[in-house]
Structure 1
Amino acid sequence: MADTETPRPPARDRSLVTGATGLLGGNLVRLLLSLDQEVVALVRDLERARRLLPEDPRLHLVPGDVTDPSTYRAHMTGVDEVFHTAAYFREYFQDPSRTGPLERINVQGTEQVLTAAAASGVPVFLHTGSINTLALRGPESPADESTPPPEKYARPEVSDTYPTSKVRADRAVAAMVRSGRAGRTRVATVLPGWMWGPGDAGPTSAGRLFLDVARGSVRAVPRLSNYVVDARDVAFACVAAARTGTADRYVVAGEKRSLPALTDSVAAESGVRAPRAVPARLATAAAALMELSAGLRGGEPTATREGVRVLREGDTRNISSDLARSELGVRFRPAAETITAMGAWYRTHGMLPAGPARAGAPR
């Protein structure tokens, strides 16, 4: 979203952001500070937060855990809005049986943060969902805010995948609103696409792919596409949804992008050879080998079979972000701008070699 096209949201005095060192949370913190207000950042690691977040007298770092309300309940007092971005996503890189954090953090943690916000009389709670909670739709009738979740993610009674955990979190929030347990707190949900952008220190699946391509360790990527959105555009959508939005849900999917085109851009920005594009059917087998190799060496794979499965679903998705565009003023910046910003951020933070991208990259 170009600065000249960005409307300025109404002012607020004090906001609280969970997951403040994450990709979306960090960009929200920066956006809120740029609006000349105080920000309470809930973080798990103070030293890490000091490295990743701006040094600003208006920024208050609070060590805490979304699953332990005693660590943040007192800090809800005097807050105008809570932006809940904290989530567990490393299921994509780990043993698929390790699903406990999905339920504890993504579902129960969300309920606990909303409960604390309501008890403190916080006027607005902004919940971050996912486009993975929308059933697949054809191009003649793309998915939007009214689309129900995919049946396979709606059935489980416990979180067994990341998409299932986000469906369950959405339902928990809706149940709290219906039952009156959210009190007078207005609740809105933003459903982002696959977020890329500067500040991805985690890193998320996008950041891991970016870094692995930039380091020359990815030889091939499947011919698949998915909805990709800059985290800075999602941050703007969250603030606008909280402050000027009238709906309770906004899809902020971004634009559908080809994975080979994205990795070509990363390679060009980084000065390395671009991965070759291969048939999608090979992706699952390749991911299985990555998982095996990572298990033997004790690391984490670039991709897993679960991640590939979600990516293959994304290839068939058709999603509309028209409501966010028309009501919130959201505009999606070009992918090239996102890739350039990511490279600059990773070099600044020592995650890629310092200096500008190399010219004349082999193709």
Structure 2
Amino acid sequence: MADILVVDDVAENLHMLQLILRQQGHTVLAAINAEIALNIIKRKPPELVITDIKMPGTSGIELCKILKTEKHTSHIPVIFVSVHSDTDWIVEALHAGGNDYITKPFIPAEILARVDTQIKLLDAQKSAVKQQLSQVMNEMVIGVAHEINTPLGTAITAVSHCSDTVHKLMLDLQANRADPEVFADKLAQCDTSLALSQKNLTRVAKFVSMVKQIARVECPVSPTRVSLVDLANKVHSAWSDKPVNVHVDVNEEQVALFDGGLVASVLDTLIANSLSHGRQEGALQVNIVFSIENGLLGISCLDNGLGLDGISEEDMLKPFVTTKRGNTGHVGLSASVAANLIVNALDGTYSVRNHQDGLEWQISLPVDAV
């Protein structure tokens, strides 16, 4: 079943379409003009839009053009409603990006068949996205194994050198032939070796942490009764002592059944990613908003960091691709892990875009009522 927005300036048409679609179990929202439709879509994008071609003010065709030019709505299929004599209008509507059309007077079987076709196409696209992300996961596992080898080998070498040096110093001390200057120099070498080892083991630890996150994608979810207020407090508290200001807003006290631990893990990953790619000047701010509507948990996560910083969303999701400059130890896996948790573990959807010189994740996750 799908979330469908119906747009028509004739109330009778809206009522008829709602009746037909709801009988099939679809969730249907209605708008009497394009302006109201755009406000609804801004709050919560539907999976499908059905709009009349001819409407006062902004027409259905103009509404379609607006949706297709915006990155976060361009994927939404649009079905037009017309009369049989509107051939020229139908052609223009399809050229504007429309996916299909239905004619008046309404034939319920035709409407349901055309809607069903678009839903199947959406499901196929979601399946393709899951397969693509699964491939990314495989690349990540192989890449992690490769990336761990170098810092781990360096750490082992550094510790071995430190151990050999300490052993020789102990022999010199026992034989009363320890030269203070040589002793100090050897200890300085040990200190350098230990620092090098610590640096590389810290990098290994980051990869191990990511491996744990990767493994969670394949684990079954564990839905429990979750309060959005409690979840907001948990996320905020986890970052209260870090150099980032995390603000979590809940529109109202709402409770639903979902895997709160996994959702918190996704947000922790996104916040950590924001911190790694934080602002070059000033404090990092992350604003998160929770809301539940029509069986979906909506999450907006917006930071004031560097945004995509010259890379595409597709590149951002590739393993080991990072906008972080220099030898920072950032592993470039956070976005890939978060995307996989959202799509494959939580069966949700997401979109990413630059927003006011920052990065915004819009996440939608299915939840069950308590």
State the TM-score, normalized to the length of structure 2. 0.20
Q: Which has the higher contact order (CA 8 A, sep 6+)?
A: 1
Which has the larger strand fraction?
2
TM-score by length of 1: 0.20
Specify the structure having the higher radius of gyration (Cα).
Answer: 2
